[in-house]
Amino acid sequence: MALNFVLMLTEKDRTIPDAVDVYEKLSVDELRIIAFKDVDTDPHMARDLTEAAHADGRSVLLELADTSEAGQERGCQLALDLGVDRVVGTWRPSAAEAFAGSGKPEYWPFVGSMSGNPLVLDSSPDELAAEAERLSATHGVAGLVLMPYRQNSYDPVLLMERTAAAATVPFLIAGGVRDAAQITDIAAAGAWGFTMGGAALADRHDDPVSVTKRVSEIMRISRQASDAS
């Protein structure tokens, strides 16, 4: 199974203000998925970015970073208004129902207990496996999102392997992915894909083509990791 790379147009858990400009300068044909977050994101910019990506044949993922009840409600409505392809958020049964059915964005909730800002994973391997199994069987859940590199209590590979063994839907690795060794581990664990944001965007102000170079390199590493797994 090919490992999917999701380019997050975010830094420090917020959508970058120049997301549309960065996207328009990106020249990596094989990149298929981009993503951004709802927090501090101008709705007009979000619409322009979504429409540009769709016009290029790419899919769009929206992460609902405002974890409050009201924030998640607003984020769900934003996702529907924009017509994004996937929505990531904290687990809420009402969101699963809202996105169920044809023509709606896919709903990919975080698996495991999350806390803090930025979010960190608090669940043990056993807790994670149990929730992955339960959510996988829930109507309206198309995939899961795991943050094994946003915690320091357990081996990230163990967390991915336990999730893979319990889940019956695809799972995406998010947060803290920065190097080839991690990407290799993610592919070997059977993840559907992974996200990367700030690590791919860090040098864009000094070198406008750096994002294209970095994304191309990440795609190359992803192909190699997929072939080896």
| pLDDT, tens only, 189-215 | 999 999 999 889 988 988 989 999 999
**What pLDDT, on a 0 to 100 scale, did the predictor assign at position 133?**
98
**What pLDDT, on a 0 to 100 scale, did the predictor assign at position 117?**
78
Residue 229 confidence class, pLDDT cut points 50, 70, 90: confident
pLDDT over 80 at 1, yes or no? no
**What pLDDT, on a 0 to 100 scale, did the predictor assign at position 185?**
98
List Cα–Cα distances, 213 to 1, 41, 131, 192, in angstroms: 24, 26, 38, 23
pLDDT over 90 at 32, yes or no? yes
Query: How many residues are given for the chain?
Result: 229
**What pLDDT, on a 0 to 100 scale, did the predictor assign at position 209?**
92
**What pLDDT, on a 0 to 100 scale, did the predictor assign at position 213?**
95
pLDDT over 90 at 170, yes or no? yes
Sorted by sequence, the CB contacts under 8 Å of residue 227 that are 6+ apart come out as: none
| Rg from Cα positions in the chain | 16
Q: What is the pLDDT of residues 100-149, one digit of tens each?
A: 988 999 999 999 998 887 889 999 999 999 999 999 999 999 999 999 99
d(CA 62, CA 124): 27
Domains of the chain: 4-110+141-147+171-228 (3.20.20.70)
List Cα–Cα distances, 45 to 28, 36, 48, 182, in angstroms: 21, 11, 5, 32
**What pLDDT, on a 0 to 100 scale, did the predictor assign at position 125?**
96
Paired sense of beta strands 59-63 and 33-37, if any: parallel
- Chain mean position to CA 28: 19
Sorted by sequence, the CB contacts under 8 Å of residue 213 that are 6+ apart come out as: none
d(CA 60, CA 55): 11
Single-letter amino acid code for the residue at 111? V
- Chain mean position to CA 39: 15
Sorted by sequence, the CB contacts under 8 Å of residue 181 that are 6+ apart come out as: none
pLDDT over 80 at 173, yes or no? yes
d(CA 36, CA 19): 9
d(CA 26, CA 57): 14
Q: What is the pLDDT of residues 36-73, one digit of tens each?
A: 999 889 999 999 999 999 999 999 999 998 888 898 99
Residue 8 confidence class, pLDDT cut points 50, 70, 90: very high
List Cα–Cα distances, 71 to 36, 104, 153, in angstroms: 15, 19, 29
Residue 161 confidence class, pLDDT cut points 50, 70, 90: very high
Q: What is the pTM of this model?
A: 0.95
